[in-house]
Amino acid sequence: MNWLRRDHSASKEDYMDRLDHLRKQCGPHVAAVAKDSVEGICTKIYHISAEYVRRIHQAHQALLKDCNVSDPEAADVQDRLVYCYPIRLALPSPAQPRVELHFENDIACLRYKGEMVKVNRSYFTKLELLYRYSSIDDPRFEKFLSRVWCLIKRYLVMFGAGVNEGTGLQGALPVPVFEALNKQFGVTFECFASPLNSYFKQFCSAFPDTDGFFGSRGPFLNFSPASGSFEANPPFSEELMDAMVTHFEKLLEKSSEPLSFIIFVPEWRDPLTPALHRMETSAFLRHQMSVPAFEHEYRSGSQHICKKEEMYYKAVHGTVIIFLQNAAGFAKWEPTPERIQELLAAYQVSRRALGSPGPSSAPTTLSPASAGGSGDKDSIAAKTAPERSASLDTSPARQDNSSSSNPVGKTTPPSETASV
């Protein structure tokens, strides 16, 4: 307080230094005092969550039994190499309840049993596109609305009830950065995503049961690609990031096909996170660089429903970008100085675009057939890339991860090869 009273003209750097000083001085004492109660609260939350999971599982089994659908867990999964397709739910869906849809300006409102969930119209259109690619069991879209309702409801529950609660775990890379990853390094797949925040139409996500209809290949730790170029921006959970590194190393060791992971994690060095340390010392590390705090942005975790002026927020931490590649992956997608330059330049484009129109100018008229649409570079398919679908899904689907793009709207070909 004295310091604050004394120094009226302190700059942002002074405040940051002071905060750092306080953190070092007081941090250990606060941590020691709070440790027991924080651990107690976390343990309690863990047990309550586990109990809810058990009950949901029971209800799920009862529902399947009522509909005469046999136990999915009894299904035999073979360990073999297959082309990568969205997770198809091996079971027929029980009959779906009726969900009503109406639009309020640019917002799609879905109502079920008096309860309403909302998503921006452009994202509703994106979900239509993803569904068209992935849900071959429903070519007439008869189950589409109920599946969208379940999807949004699932993420609402995951986010939590408070304003902006939980969205921090869903922050995405800016669109120009994804474009550069695709163009420079042949990336066509996100290891951590949701149907709402995915840029590519191939991605892993936390919830195969709701997200599989929209292209998810399931949780990343259960996904074993043998080849391909992947982006990974995991939720900033130390345990998950650590498990992610173990998985990368295992996959890279196992495959002699070109395999590449470009990873974006917070630059947490005080203390250094195990995941970051392990990646920085990995035998597969080909390159790493940092983007400083406050000099780059993330796309909002509520991008599917937020206002356009809330679309980006400045990162309060540095982001480390790490390239883990096996030999064939390095030969194919080497992080050369020119490519790195283009990737970093994309962060600058994204910063300049901050003031530009956001998602509400996104492809409101975009139909699955009319790729491209209008709007700014960052919110929808780049004007310069009219052959693509939506900005939210500008990814060219690839036969083989080679550099030729495959326009959206045609049959989605298999891309990475995964062993399941």
Q: Which spans of this chain sit near ligand SAM (rule: CB under 6 A)? A: 169-173, 190, 192-194, 197-198, 204-206, 219-221, 231, 233-235
Q: How far apart are CA 42 and CA 39, in angstroms?
A: 5
Smallest separation, CB 221 to ligand SAM (Å): 6
String of DSSP letters for 202-246: -EEES-HHHHGGGTB---GGG--BSSEEEEE---S-HHHHHHHHH
The side-by-side arrangement of strands in the sheet containing 115-120 is 100-104, 107-112, 115-120
Dmax (CA) of the chain: 74
Smallest separation, CB 22 to ligand SAM (Å): 29
CB closer to ligand SAM out of 35 and 314: 314
Q: How far apart are CA 238 and CA 217, in angstroms?
A: 23
Smallest separation, CB 346 to ligand SAM (Å): 13
Smallest separation, CB 197 to ligand SAM (Å): 4
CB closer to ligand SAM out of 170 and 391: 170
330 DSSP 8-state letter: H
Half-sphere exposure at residue 112, Cβ-oriented, CA atoms within 13 angstroms:
15
Instruction: Give the CA distances from residue 148 to residues 86, 88, 96, 116, 134, in Å, rounded to whole numbers and listed in that order.
Output: 16, 16, 12, 12, 13
CB closer to ligand SAM out of 131 and 199: 199
CB closer to ligand SAM out of 46 and 103: 46
CB closer to ligand SAM out of 86 and 234: 234
Instruction: Give the CA distances from residue 196 to residues 57, 165, 308, 382, in Å, rounded to whole numbers and listed in that order.
Output: 25, 16, 16, 18
Smallest separation, CB 192 to ligand SAM (Å): 3
Smallest separation, CB 278 to ligand SAM (Å): 18
CB closer to ligand SAM out of 119 and 369: 119
Smallest separation, CB 206 to ligand SAM (Å): 4
CB closer to ligand SAM out of 235 and 318: 235
